Structure 1
Amino acid sequence: MMINESVKTKIMFFSFNSSFRFWGLLIAMFLYTEVPMLFGDENKNNIDEELLKIEEIFNANRSIFKNGYCRFVFSQWSADSVEDSLKGIENGQSIKRKIEYEIFMSNGDFIQKTDIDLEAVLKRINQKEISFTPMNIAIKSGFAIDHNAALNNAIVHSPDNYQVNVRYHPFNFSADSSGLDPASAIRYARSKSFDGIECYIGGNAVVDGVDCVILNVCGEKDSHCFTYYIDMSRGCLPLKIEMFNKDKSLYATTNILEIKEIDGGYFPLHSIKTNVLKTDDEKTLVKVSETEVLEIDLLYKPTQKDMALQLPKTTQFYDGINPNSSKTLFLDHENEFVDIPVENIENIYNQLQGIAATREKASLKRSLRNDDIVSKNSGRNWMWIIIIANLFLMVFIFMVVSSRRNRNSEK
């Protein structure tokens, strides 16, 4: 079949055009997918490096404070405005509640306890006069005791189940159990310890005349998002933290009002968290949580008594995971209170694991014994069913035979 020149030209043009489109698309795909792999996503790498830098500097700064003594007060009160709260002006609409804590640190070992006699605390709890739940904490090598004095129970954590979140502490900038410091947030995002948590740099901002890097932290499964304004020149401490609900509405802000340089490190001395609420009559009410360091001495050498928690002998211990590990360990102690040095935390954890294993083994034996009893009873039941069935069969046969004999005799 002959093809005229006009048609041939059109076919050649179409083939060339299609070929050009194909190779153009292929080159575009290569540029889109391969070039970043060959040369690297420079912007992303820069952001990742900045996140790692914040994490490293923050942890290095905090590691300076692993020895010594610190005493601070945590208080809650109310104000008419955020401005008043930052000036310490109370509105008198609520009673100011406060509790003092002492922190003892020795080569990374950590003890935090209330600065009052525990017997007095328990007495106040029994009389329902306690304004705060005293939280006593001891940490050594990833093993920790988290004691709730109001409930008189203690969760003992291992390095594999380390969930201690020190609720009241100068470095807990959200002043509650939901708080994350910026380094922990970055670490969780890198290790994917929590599904969906995301950290990213959001630019720069000036806070109280200081240039800060904005760090955003958010998680899909977490109802909170945080924005940290990081002071890179002072240990990567945040000067301000904004806390958002899932709908991106601001629900609280923490301002770090005073930072002190000590032995080359930077310690937050004074912070105020504000939560702005609306009253029933549409007036503004600001709830304030304040943390203020009263004394800090990095040269102090904690004593053996300092590095021990004093707990009631009725304290119930639990590993935080397995209910079978729950046990009151010191009921036979001669005194009402028992001292638990940080060196004993790992032993207590192992003791709880042994208790759980023994109970689970006993529970399994009971279960097997019950199954055996049920099996035997089931066997006996079937035996009686067979006997009764045989009896009914014999009666039936007897009745049939008797009926036939009677009919034969009538004939």
Structure 2
Amino acid sequence: MHWLTKHKVVIGINLLLFSLILLVSFIWEFSPLRVEGVDSERLIHYTIHIILLPLLIIYLPLKLIRQRSNSGKKAYFAGLILCVLAGLASATYTHTVSVPGSFLFKIEGGTKQVTDPDYDHSGENNSYMTFTISTSIKGYDKPLGPAYFYVEAFLHSIFYCFYMLCYLQAYGIMHKHKLKEKLKQQQLDVLQYQLNPHFLFNSLNSIRGMLYEDVSEAKKLLLEFRQLFKHHFDNKQHCIALKQELLLCRHYLKLEKVRFEERLNVDLKVPSECEIMLVPSMSIFTLIENAIKHGIGQIPSGGTIAISVAKQDKKLSITVSNPINKTARQADGTRTGLANLEARLALLYRDNFTINSERSDDQFSVELQIPLKKDKTGE
């Protein structure tokens, strides 16, 4: 079903056109309103003119040209040529297979008769040519000269030019949207690459400190470090299920628990229905890391990090609170984690997120609110 996704715009437009063709192909009786039937001949001719010919002569060649060339000028120039060819093919069809005038509009002309109300008796202005919109495919009442063929080909070409311009405009909008999405993904990747060395540096610092105190405990740290990175690199999506994010956090907390021992406690409150919600990868991890570095790490007696998740209207609310020592010197750090998190949130959710912090005498909390979205891959 990949081709449905690839050509969904054109398929949708042509389904809409076919619906309109089917509507005008009904034989309506307006007094009283009823449908007498479907003019199958009209349906076939209109479908060939408005759907089949532009698909074969304009859409498919332009699709091939767009794949091989990124030049917009070449596409428009080639499109004009293809529209002329489609106009000639359409006019040829009406003068051979179908009947002249089987298109949505027809050209009529000739010489006015004496009985016509607007007949000019001086004989100077009795030639005429008219352009009419018609739902009839009966053809012309009078014999046609070659000029009618060229006029029809020209007018049909103008119609196909409109089709071509609509297609190229739609393609341009889609292409621009794809470029924006690709750029966003590249920006997210860059931020992810920035976060990995920062995360690696902080974790290795913990292990280095333990090597001088207890080698066996340092080995435990290395095992947790291995599990932590294995889980992190196995999940390369920019958004993961909350359950996976919490598993990553638990590995990190085990690693830090060895270092801080009884100084570090965690109070985790997460409803089971929230575990399938999508969150930015390493978002809660970043908040916990910040709470340990600037909170627990600055208090000799340690404290408890409170992590709570809840649904609020159409938002997922994540709150991380930690005790602080207001008299202690602020811990050194590049602040890469929080700045990185805010930048990623802006790319993922634009303005549809909030991140607020609140500080009291002995407590600091950060609340993150993001749109509710389920992880469909995990269901």
Give the TM-score normalised by structure 2: 0.28
Query: 1 or 2, which has the higher strand percentage?
Result: 1
Determine which structure has greater relative contact order: mean sequence separation of CA pairs < 8 Å that are 6+ residues apart, divided by chain length: 1
Query: 1 or 2, which has the higher helix percentage?
Result: 2
